[in-house]
Chain A
Amino acid sequence: MKTKMFACLALLAACGFSLIVLADNHEEEDMNKLVFPEAYKVEAVANGGKISGVVKFDGEVPEKKKLAINKDQAVCDAVAKFDESLVVGDGNVLKNTIVYLMDITKGKDFDAEAKKPELDQKECRFDPHVQIVPVGIVLTVLNSDKATHNVHIFGTKKNNTSVNKQQPKTRKKMRLSREGVAKKAEGPIEVKCDIHGWMKAWIAYVPHPYFAVTNEKGEFTLEDVPPGTYKLGYWHEVCGTNNKAPVTVKVEAGGEVKQEFTLKVEETK
């Protein structure tokens, strides 16, 4: 009788453990995504501070990988194209890294420009490679090419915004107002052109404006940050995130905080 009870208990424990493992797995997935506050309140920011810095890459810089262009060469192969998943500039600076405040709950509104996000398809390449789109805002997709593209924004459980619309060469501008407006913050999620399989980009749907994408020099700037202490996070396509150990920054009124990040390629699990 006792042994039976033990067996049952062991079984229960095993089940419980496997559940924990399962839950963990799900968390693993989320570790590659951005972190958002539960709510965000817009209010005027007077005498805010500034966070700026440079993101650098640590490790052997892989050789630039030229993309194989197997079709529409006249349009797509006029300028050589390279894989953009890891763009490292002089001085090992890292482009296309999102640097953002994870836990800000109140602050400024998006500026006018941020509310008109545009994603261009030019010479069969998405520009920009990493895009910030405010939640509830319409994304406009441009086609600057004399070629047919299809904008395929992958769906997720959260938003069900799987958008896959053909954009013929005759349509220079397409607003994704009907199907492409995210209701919830998430991301970054993948964007692809299936017709030109090498065309890839990322979109992050965000609830507040304290997001920056590093430029060619690896630089980022977050302005008008209300004074306070925040968690500063980053996301990069192949270097991952610092969700497990975000940096804490203290912003003072009118002050400037400098923060540098050094990222490595995530070890493949």
Chain B
Amino acid sequence: MRIRNFTLLLLILGLFFILPFVHAQGATEAQNIAEGKKVYDNSCAHCHGIEGRGDGSAAENLLPQPRDFTRGLYKIRSTESGQLPTDQDLFDIITEGMPGSSMPEWETALDADERWQVVAYIKTFYEGFKESETLPKEISLKGKIPYSKESIEIGKELYTQFACYECHGDEGRGDGTSAPTLTDEWDYKSWPANLHQNWNYRGGNDIDDIYKRFVGGIAGSAMPMFEDPAFGLSIEEAQRYTQLDNKGEMTDAEEEEYTQLEDKMANAFDILDLINAGEGDEEQKKFYEESMKTFYEKSWHLANYVKSLSPEKRPEAAIGKNSLRSQYVEDELPPMDDAVWDTLEESYFPLVGQVIIEPRQFNPTIDSVSVKSFYNDTEVAFLFIWDDRTHNTAEEENEDIGKTYEDAIAIQFPVKIPKGPTSPKPYFLWGGKLAVYLWQWQASAPEKTTELTAKGINNATEQEFQGDIETESAYSKGQYKLWVKRALETDDKKDLQLKPGVFVPIAFSLWDGANGDVGTKRVISSWYSFVLEPVPSVKRFIYPPIVALLSLGLLIGLRGFMQRRNTE
């Protein structure tokens, strides 16, 4: 009797566990779609449009543009080139959002059921989901090569062999020679990823994610599906081929070797074409399998290299323990290219588009500016470093990207340093009632920094008396460096006066001319603060011992005096 009761209990308990699943599965596709439509119309349609064409009311200002679901082209997939995404892919994108774009994560706003319902609904926008008889083919992650120094080295060579630099640039900052002309299939400007800032990757920055982007491509964008440029060659043979290819003159023997390698590749590509067309004999199939294995191996090395270009995680903003602390040196301050700058940690200032005052920048291209600083008894030097894919020095009419302007940066300080942390600071957008003091540098005059006073974003004037701000700058491989040096104290009342140990508010405005930045259209930071790190005085090694000794002497003296008095 007791046992039977127990079984019954188990059965009931079991039902409680199973029922929710039965229920979920029981919900028909039609129900899911109907529910999904409600969620979609509420949460997604503003950007993606009621009919899923990516033309919602908010779409106009967004770049990248919201996805047009009617084309069935999805950028972030775990499936092979030309394939539709899996349901899981769609679910993941909705859940996690797309960094560096306007697509937010929906994990907090929608529960999992709702997100799955949206998946069911957006699939209805494209017939292909219904028509395809087989499930999309997922990219296999078999044969993954562990992240190691050796692998990164091999990957670095492959980066050149695979011609990644054409768009992503020699060092990977998205500054390749093809970068300015890239658009997506909807003819919207799209910039290649800066591989040094992987927190902006739309589809995640795990090595697996990076690998999937190579193998599957990014549909609708300029990022192609890759094929091994040295298909059929081993990694060593490919290296040898590149070596010979870069050689101006070859000996006869080298010429022969080169031709042999070329023939080998041509033959391999022919086999690849056959297999792709569903033809080819057993031997050719075997050859294809082997060659693809090498290609996947190469792709893993490449993924490891790309991963290595970014810091492990996005640097923390320059506040608290990370705030900018100018370091004291006794001697002359180091010039821009001095290696001693490398000994300093960078302070990282994240930037956002200016969206308060028109014209606004909704689609910023500059992620951040990094700063280092030294000072001595009379002067201070700053090194500002930021990534910009293009070097624009003038206002120009560009056929591919429209009107471009010159690149620039302005470093902002208050004219009067607030007395304490709670004292009012000037308005962060170039001041208001309280004025700000600015250093402005423009790419057209690379060795000049102009001093401005501003009482508002549209109310800046060049200072009458231009102090002596020594300036050096350089643009190379998608990165700007600006070095400025100024006296700590000046005679001009409109200038900022600096003293060690005093926290000074600092903020930034930057302009990427190729992104249409000019005037109020720019990227900005809010107020941060920096300090000339006070030198721990040498006096601390002298006075305390003296005081200690004196006290000791005094005590001994006192004791002696007391003893004498007592004996008396």
A contact residues vs B (CB 8 Å cutoff)? 68, 70-71, 138, 148, 150-152, 154-157, 160-175, 177-179, 194-198
Task: For chain B, give the interface size range.
Answer: 35 or more
* Complex interface: stretch among B5-13, B225-233, B436-444, B474-482: B225-233
Chain B interface, >50% SS class: loop
Out of A155, A157, A165, A179, which one reaches B220, CB within 8 Å?
Answer: A155
Which residue of A has the minimal Cβ distance to B232? A170
Question: For A148, what are the chain B residues with a Cβ–Cβ distance below 8 Å?
Answer: 163, 166, 229
* Minimum-distance CB pairs A-B, first 7: A197-B181, A168-B229, A194-B222, A179-B82, A177-B277, A71-B177, A148-B163
Interface contact A171-B225, CB-CB below 8 Å: no
Question: For A160, what are the chain B residues with a Cβ–Cβ distance below 8 Å?
Answer: 71-73, 126, 128
Question: For B221, what are the chain A residues with a Cβ–Cβ distance below 8 Å?
Answer: 164
Looking at the assembled complex, report how far the CB atom of B531 sits from the nearest CB atom of chain A, in whole angstroms: 45
Which residue of B has the minimal Cβ distance to A164? B224
Which residue of A has the minimal Cβ distance to B72? A160
Looking at the assembled complex, report how far the CB atom of B184 sits from the nearest CB atom of chain A, in whole angstroms: 10
The answer, yes or no, to whether B133 is at the interface (CB within 8 Å) is no
The 8 A CB mask of B271-295 against A (1 = contact, 0 = none) is: 0010011100000000000000000
Question: For B177, what are the chain A residues with a Cβ–Cβ distance below 8 Å?
Answer: 70-71
Question: For B222, what are the chain A residues with a Cβ–Cβ distance below 8 Å?
Answer: 150, 152, 164, 194
Interface contact B265-A162, CB-CB below 8 Å: no
The answer, yes or no, to whether B217 is at the interface (CB within 8 Å) is yes
Out of A155, A170, A175, A198, which one reaches B73, CB within 8 Å?
Answer: A155
Question: For A162, what are the chain B residues with a Cβ–Cβ distance below 8 Å?
Answer: 71, 73, 82, 185, 219-220
Interface contact B71-A155, CB-CB below 8 Å: yes
Looking at the assembled complex, report how far the CB atom of B260 sits from the nearest CB atom of chain A, in whole angstroms: 13
Known: A148-B163, A162-B185, A196-B178. A168 touches B227 (CB 8 A): yes
Out of A154, A170, A172, which one reaches B185, CB within 8 Å?
Answer: A154
Question: For B181, what are the chain A residues with a Cβ–Cβ distance below 8 Å?
Answer: 70, 194, 197-198
Question: For A175, what are the chain B residues with a Cβ–Cβ distance below 8 Å?
Answer: 273, 276-277
The 8 A CB mask of B444-480 against A (1 = contact, 0 = none) is: 0000000000000000000000000000000000000
Out of A165, A171, A172, A173, which one reaches B224, CB within 8 Å?
Answer: A165
Out of B225, B241, B265, which one reaches A164, CB within 8 Å?
Answer: B225
Interface contact A170-B182, CB-CB below 8 Å: no
Within 8 A of A (CB), among B129-168: 162-163, 166-167
Interface contact B262-A170, CB-CB below 8 Å: yes
Out of A152, A155, A173, which one reaches B269, CB within 8 Å?
Answer: A173
Known: A157-B72, A173-B270. 14 other contacts (CB 8 A): A148-B163, A151-B224, A155-B219, A160-B128, A166-B226, A169-B229, A170-B241, A173-B273, A174-B273, A177-B278, A197-B178, A197-B180, A197-B182, A198-B181
Which residue of B has the minimal Cβ distance to A194? B222
Which residue of A has the minimal Cβ distance to B166? A195
Looking at the assembled complex, report how far the CB atom of B141 sits from the nearest CB atom of chain A, in whole angstroms: 21
Out of A161, A168, A179, which one reaches B163, CB within 8 Å?
Answer: A168
Looking at the assembled complex, report how far the CB atom of A66 sits from the nearest CB atom of chain B, in whole angstroms: 12
Interface contact B163-A177, CB-CB below 8 Å: no
Question: For A155, what are the chain B residues with a Cβ–Cβ distance below 8 Å?
Answer: 71-73, 185, 219-220
Looking at the assembled complex, report how far the CB atom of B391 sits from the nearest CB atom of chain A, in whole angstroms: 13
The answer, yes or no, to whether B400 is at the interface (CB within 8 Å) is yes
- Complex-state Cα separation, A71 to B231, whole angstroms: 25
The answer, yes or no, to whether B399 is at the interface (CB within 8 Å) is yes
Question: For B217, what are the chain A residues with a Cβ–Cβ distance below 8 Å?
Answer: 164
Looking at the assembled complex, report how far the CB atom of B293 sits from the nearest CB atom of chain A, in whole angstroms: 19
Question: For B127, what are the chain A residues with a Cβ–Cβ distance below 8 Å?
Answer: 157
Within 8 A of A (CB), among B63-94: 70-73, 81-82
Show 7 A/B contacts (Cβ-Cβ < 8 Å), sorted by A. A155-B73, A162-B73, A162-B220, A165-B224, A173-B269, A174-B273, A194-B167
Looking at the assembled complex, report how far the CB atom of B241 sits from the nearest CB atom of chain A, in whole angstroms: 8
The answer, yes or no, to whether B266 is at the interface (CB within 8 Å) is yes
The 8 A CB mask of B166-186 against A (1 = contact, 0 = none) is: 110000000001101111010
Looking at the assembled complex, report how far the CB atom of B245 sits from the nearest CB atom of chain A, in whole angstroms: 9
Question: For A179, what are the chain B residues with a Cβ–Cβ distance below 8 Å?
Answer: 81-82
Out of B70, B128, B178, B226, which one reaches A194, CB within 8 Å?
Answer: B178
Interface contact A150-B273, CB-CB below 8 Å: no
Interface contact B182-A166, CB-CB below 8 Å: no
The answer, yes or no, to whether B309 is at the interface (CB within 8 Å) is no
Which residue of A has the minimal Cβ distance to B279? A177
